[in-house]
């Protein structure tokens, strides 16, 4: 079975009306991330629901000249806590850190506070946590002691090095590393990590609709067969011989371990 550990069906529906028909046709088991309550309500029983404050959200508030940012973020955290308490979500995600540009760097203090709170919720309710990390791996290593207490930690669209991934595992973090179309887009670090990491630590994703293959306008579940085929081929080049079907089965097992 194809599995997608990170997608946004609410946003995908805006550009691809047949998104759910495609998912059913391919038989995809998908974990859907959302940041606003109306998106979560949009996700039907076909998806595994994940919910969090995205690290780019404070910057969005600033850009839109929103007032009382702290109050709005605290209200959002209360929603997350209530959803976790009522067992209405299966993971806290996507959350994390994004220091990719000056606007995001401006909100670093907000990102630190909201991540600490979301990590606390994940630990309190024994939930997996799905991470978005850009230009901020140093923060992850500083928090490795706390992340090692998490049920599992999923690195969405892993772009770190193989050595960083191996180090996190050595620190006792129950980490899984997800790959999508980046391994088709000549992302050298993602390619090397996907090739060398243990197969029982791999996940696949589409980040639909935000991570398209070259020449396409959006990503969707039809990308998953090629992502798997590419991952199997990459691993074979370094002696980790595995067929696409074998890798698909292993990644499904990993997915079910993470999300039950």
Predicted TM-score (pTM) of the model is 0.96
* Distance separating alpha carbons of residues 150 and 143, to the nearest angstrom: 11
Distance CA 176, CA 197 (A): 10
29: Cα within 13 Å, side-chain hemisphere: 15
- pLDDT in the model for residue 115: 98
Residue pair 100/135 in contact (Cβ under 8 Å)? The answer is yes
C-alpha distance from residue 23 to each of 14, 101, 252 (Å): 15, 34, 15
- Using the Cα atoms of residue 5, residue 11, residue 13 and residue 15 in order, give the sign of their dihedral: negative
Tokens of 137: 């791996």
Instruction: Kindly state the DSSP code that residue 212 receives in the 8-state scheme.
Output: P
pLDDT at 85: 97
pLDDT for 68: 87
Burial class of residue 141 (count of CB atoms within 10 Å of its CB; 0-12, 13-18, 19+): middle
* Predicted confidence pLDDT, tens digits, the chain (260 residues): 999 999 999 999 999 999 999 999 999 999 999 998 888 776 767 899 999 999 999 999 988 777 789 999 999 999 999 999 999 999 999 999 999 999 999 999 999 999 999 999 999 999 999 999 999 999 999 999 999 999 999 999 999 999 999 999 999 999 999 999 999 988 999 999 999 999 999 999 999 999 999 999 999 999 999 999 999 999 999 999 999 999 999 999 999 999 98
CB-CB contact of 200 with 251 (8 Å) = no
Rounded distance between C-alpha atoms, residue 259 and residue 128, angstroms: 7
Angle at the Cα of 28 from the Cα atoms of 22 and 33, rounded to 5 degrees? 95
What's the pLDDT score for residue 167? 98
């Amino acid at each position: 079975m194809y599995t997608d550990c990170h997608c946004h069906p609410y946003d995908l529906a805006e550009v691809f009306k047949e998104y759910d028909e495609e998912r059913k046709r391919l038989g995809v088991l998908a974990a859907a991330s959302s940041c606003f309550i109306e998106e979560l309500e949009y996700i039907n029983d076909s998806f595994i629901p994940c919910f969090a404050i995205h690290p780019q959200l404070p910057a969005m508030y600033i850009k839109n000249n929103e007032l009382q940012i702290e109050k709005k973020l605290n209200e959002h955290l209360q929603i997350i806590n209530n959803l976790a308490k009522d067992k209405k979500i299966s993971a806290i995600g996507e959350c994390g850190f994004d220091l990719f540009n000056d606007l995001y760097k401006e909100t670093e203090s907000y990102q630190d506070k909201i991540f600490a709170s979301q990590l606390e919720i994940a630990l309190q309710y024994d939930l997996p946590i799905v991470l978005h990390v850009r230009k901020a791996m140093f923060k992850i290593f500083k928090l490795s002691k706390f992340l090692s207490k998490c049920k599992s930690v999923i690195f969405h669209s892993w772009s770190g090095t193989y050595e960083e991934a191996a180090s996190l595992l050595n620190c006792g973090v129950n980490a899984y590393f997800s790959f999508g179309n980046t391994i088709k887009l000549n992302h050298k670090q993602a390619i090397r990590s996907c090739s060398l990491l243990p197969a029982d630590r791999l996940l696949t994703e589409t980040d639909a609709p935000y991570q398209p293959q070259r020449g396409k306008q959006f990503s969707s579940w039809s990308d998953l067969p090629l992502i798997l085929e590419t991952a199997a081929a990459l691993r074979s080049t370094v002696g980790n011989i595995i067929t696409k079907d074998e890798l698909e089965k292993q990644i499904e097992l990993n997915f079910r371990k993470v999300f039950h």
